[in-house]
Structure 1
Amino acid sequence: MEGQFQILFDKMEIEMQNQTIALTNTIMEKIEEKLKPILEENRILKIKIENLEKKVEYLERDKKINNIIIHGLKEDEKSIPELLNKVKKHFSDELNFTLEDWEVNKIYRIGKANDNKPRPTVLALVCGWKKSEIMRNKKKLRELYITEDYSKEILEKRKALQPMLIEERKKGNFAYIKYDKLVVKKNPNTNDKRKREISNSPKNDAHPRKQQSLNSSGSYRKNAFDMMRMRSNSFSTTSNTINQ
């Protein structure tokens, strides 16, 4: 009896396990069916958010594309026109070109006021070519220095690229940071120099070998001539002996 009860109990247990598995699979399938539209909607929303972020980044970049930031400009002006006149004077005296009022879209200070250090000045220009002219001649400035106007995120990316930039330049490559990307151009002169160094070493050994071969061939020629002379002498001696 006990054996039959055990067999019956085992069968019931197996049946319950099968029913549990079947029920679990059914529940999971129903959950997946309900989750499918939610997951698809989530995927579409992620794509939309990525596209929106790209648009915002593009608008932010376009907004700052003609901007420059002036550092080191003494902060003693009392109005915006006075600030603009100070910038125009520096450009006229040190860069030797005139900045017209109509070429300036906006000019303002950024950051918190500090008695020990003047705040940077943002100069928003109307024309991109005027900005390019200023950036080309910025090294002529004595008291001021000028940088691009980048967002905080772009500045962090550029800062992270600095170690790689230094490493590429140490290798002899032409490298620079363009907005938030590192641009590297291989220097062909480095490879040519290596090839010349490698090819020079066997050439130094090749000359002695060539000279040695020439010497050996020359000595061979000399020995051949000596043998011919010896044979001619022997023939002449033999002929004289026969004549006698």
Structure 2
Amino acid sequence: MEEIKNMLVIMQQDIKQQKQDMLDMKEDIKCTIINSLNEKFNHLELKNELLEKNLEEQTKKINNLERQFRRKNLILFGVDESEKSYDELEEMVINIINTYIKISCETHNIEAVRRLGKKGEKVRPIVITFNTLGFKLKIQKNKHYLQNTSYYLKEDYPIEILNKRRELQVQVQKEKDAGNTAFIKYDKIIILNNKQPLYKQSNKRNLSESPETLHPGSQGVQQAKKQPPKKNKGSMKNYFIQKPKLILTQAETTQRQTNTSQHNTE
């Protein structure tokens, strides 16, 4: 009977140990899975950041390329769609530039012309691509001659830039109402504060006046407080070896004079 009790106790201990082992194993498996998931998540997060960075760089490059592509373009509004071919459309544009903008323009000055958008009820604007940026700037400089006509010129911007410029117009109007000069340059707003003072205080420190000027009676005191002159560090002669001088005592000098007198007497 005692043996059976001992066997039951041992079995209970084994079962308890097995349960503890299973709990430990479960905890180990849980930690292993969590660590593995964390590593995968960190790897995916890092990969996602790299992809976002590459996407941002690619977007900037595309925007720069599109800006370069459109930099020689101007959009002409208000031209009736009466052309029947490309040559007629180009001829209409050249006539408008020569007649109203007052700049001599020929076929070789224009690279391409095209209507913008699908044909419908509204008159579509014309995108003009000039051969050189310089000629485009000349046209843009004289666009004020179109004020009393049905035509007008604008820059060729991407849709994203146009939307951003519309949003900035509200801020531009607020700055103008406040008395400042504000305008939009591409996709940024430039604000000039017209309320700045005429004279700005210089950041440079003013030169201090001499002590004699500030305190005329203290000239002697100032001279006494002056830094003592620096000692001469020596000339190049001190670096050469000089011959030692022969120093004679008074007795030796007297003896030498006596010897000289006796020699002269003989």
Q: TM-score by structure 1 length?
A: 0.66
Matching residue's letter, 2:123: P
Task: Report whether the alignment pairs 1:126 with 2:126.
Answer: no
Higher helix share: 1
Match of 1:135 among 140, 144, 147: 140
Q: Which amino acid aligns with 1:173?
A: N
Identify the range of structure 1 (157-166 vs 98-107) with the bigger mean alpha-carbon deviation: 98-107
Which amino acid in the other structure matches residue 166 of structure 1? Q
Partner of 1:152: 159
Are residue 166 (structure 1) and residue 173 (structure 2) matched?
Answer: yes
CA deviation map 1:79-123 (0-9, x unaligned): 1111111111111111211112111111011112234x3211000
Give the alignment of 1:178-197 within 5 angstroms. 178-187=185-194, 190-192=195-197
SS of the equivalent of 1:123 reads: strand
Paired with 1:44 and 1:16, the residues of 2 have a C-alpha distance of 42
Shift of 1:15: 11
Contact 2:175 2:181 in 1 (8 A): yes
2:98 counterpart letter in structure 1: S
Structure 1 residues 21 and 157: CA distance shift in structure 2, 3 A: farther
Equivalence map 1:1-244=2 (5 Å): 24-115=30-121, 117-141=122-146, 142-187=149-194, 190-192=195-197
Q: Deviations over 1:120-171 (max 9, x none)?
A: 1000111112111111211211120111111111111111111011111122
The offset of 1:23, in angstroms, is: 5.0
| Secondary structure at 1:154 match in 2 | helix
Query: How far apart are the structure 2 equivalents of 1:18 and 1:172?
Result: 75
> In structure 2, what is the Cα distance between the partners aligned to 1:119 and 1:16?
78
Structure 2: how far apart are the matches of 1:191 and 1:175? 15
TM-score (norm 2): 0.61
Taking every aligned residue pair, what percent have the same amino acid on both sides? 32
The CA deviation at 1:36 is: 2.8
Equivalent residue for 2:228? none
Measured on the aligned residues, the alpha-carbon RMSD in Å equals: 2.6
Match of 2:234 in 1: none
Aligned to 1:112, the other structure's residue is in SS state coil
Alignment length, in residue pairs?
181
Distance 1:20 1:185 in 2: 69
Q: Which runs of 5+ in 2 are unaligned?
A: 1-19, 199-266
